[in-house]
């Protein structure tokens, strides 16, 4: 449909100018420039089935915008709306009385009762607070999802959220899966209690980029990924014979053994640290011994990798001594 734009031909005095000729002045006719407006409305057939189907709120928004752009008279708006209905949604309108079908308000009200958002406040808030960041989901995507969920609450229950900013900000932080990122954002709130959701979101995006750029050292995940990639290629090429499976199994065993060794070393380090804290936090004692790579050497069994406090041999010997020292119970 075309939209008319009138251009003025008035002179400085506010009156229409005229073109003089030999027989008198010929007044200029006001000119109109027609600008085509391309405003398409999708067909609404009911509940969305695919990602390309519009939702009820999207369709209503597009329809009202198109009716305003086209300048459709009120007595024709309901007819135009029915043209952009299909499937079950159109059948729902056609069963209305002629008087109801002639009113856009009645048509939209009837469809709103069927396809509108009728969830209760408790249901909407439960969905909002239960939403956690999912695997592979960025902080930006997670924040946008929370905003969409809270927007549903605002539309249905405008006065249900006394402090939308605080609610959105706190839920965003608690729903993140990265504990390091969550800890930094909590520090930011303690430092600046008045920071908004958008401030925290901006800080989270910057920290997320920094954490993603840091290399992970000492984790043999690359070897595991390479082994898995080899297995996938072998399956696709059909070369997975007994020898190939044995070789891949050996490689995966070596990778898992390296991971197990790192976990064992980490446990030993944590055990040594906890032992020092329990002893009063005095640090290393003069009698403590360590290997060249920093592993503690047990003072009881002289085996590296643990401290005397967690020595299994000492614990087993202690249990045997206690059992031997107990008096024999005479038989009844």
Please report the DSSP string for 143-177 in residue order.
HHHHHHHHHHHHHH-TTS-S-HHHHHHHHHHHT-S
Phi, psi of 123 (to 5 degrees): -65, -45
Q: Band of the pLDDT at 8, cuts 50, 70, 90? A: very low
Task: Give per-residue pLDDT as tens, 127-171.
Answer: 999 999 999 999 999 999 999 999 989 988 888 888 999 999 999
Q: What is the residue-averaged pLDDT of the chain?
A: 76
* Alpha carbon distance 198, 202 (integer Å): 6
pTM across the whole model: 0.47
Beta bridge partners of 35: 3
Nearest 5 degrees, angle CA 281-CA 285-CA 291? 110
Instruction: Quote the pLDDT of residue 234.
Output: 52
Instruction: Quote the pLDDT of residue 252.
Output: 73
Task: Give per-residue pLDDT as tens, 173-224.
Answer: 999 999 989 999 999 999 999 999 999 999 999 988 887 775 544 444 444 4
């Amino acid at each position: 449909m075309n939209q008319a734009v009138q251009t003025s031909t008035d002179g400085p005095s506010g009156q229409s100018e005229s073109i003089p000729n030999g027989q008198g002045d010929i007044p200029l006719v006001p000119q109109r420039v027609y600008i085509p407006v391309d405003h398409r409305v999708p067909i609404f057939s009911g509940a969305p089935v695919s990602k390309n189907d519009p939702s009820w709120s999207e369709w209503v928004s597009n329809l009202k915008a198109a009716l305003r752009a086209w300048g459709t008279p009120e007595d024709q708006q309901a007819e135009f709306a029915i043209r952009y209905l299909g499937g079950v949604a159109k059948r729902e309108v056609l069963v209305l009385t002629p008087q109801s079908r002639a009113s856009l308000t009645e048509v939209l009200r009837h469809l709103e009762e069927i396809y509108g958002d009728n969830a209760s406040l408790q249901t909407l808030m439960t969905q909002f607070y239960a939403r956690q960041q999912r695997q592979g989901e960025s902080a930006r995507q997670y924040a946008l999802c929370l905003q969409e969920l809270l927007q549903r609450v605002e539309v249905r229950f405008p006065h249900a959220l006394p402090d939308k900013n605080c609610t959105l900000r706190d839920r965003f932080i608690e729903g993140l899966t990265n504990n390091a990122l969550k800890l930094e954002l909590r520090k930011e709130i303690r430092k600046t209690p008045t920071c908004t959701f958008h401030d925290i979101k901006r800080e989270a995006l910057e920290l997320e980029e920094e954490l993603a750029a840091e290399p992970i050292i000492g984790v043999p995940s690359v070897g595991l990924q390479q082994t898995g990639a080899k297995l996938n290629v072998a399956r696709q090429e059909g070369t997975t014979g007994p020898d190939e499976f044995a070789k891949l199994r050996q490689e995966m065993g070596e990778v898992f053994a390296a991971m197990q060794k790192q976990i064992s070393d980490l446990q030993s380090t944590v055990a040594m640290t906890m032992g020092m804290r329990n002893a009063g936090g005095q640090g290393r004692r003069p009698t403590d011994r360590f290997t060249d790579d920093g592993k503690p050497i047990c003072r009881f069994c002289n085996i590296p990798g643990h401290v005397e406090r967690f020595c299994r041999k000492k614990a087993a010997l202690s249990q045997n001594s206690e059992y031997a020292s107990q008096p024999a119970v005479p038989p009844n």
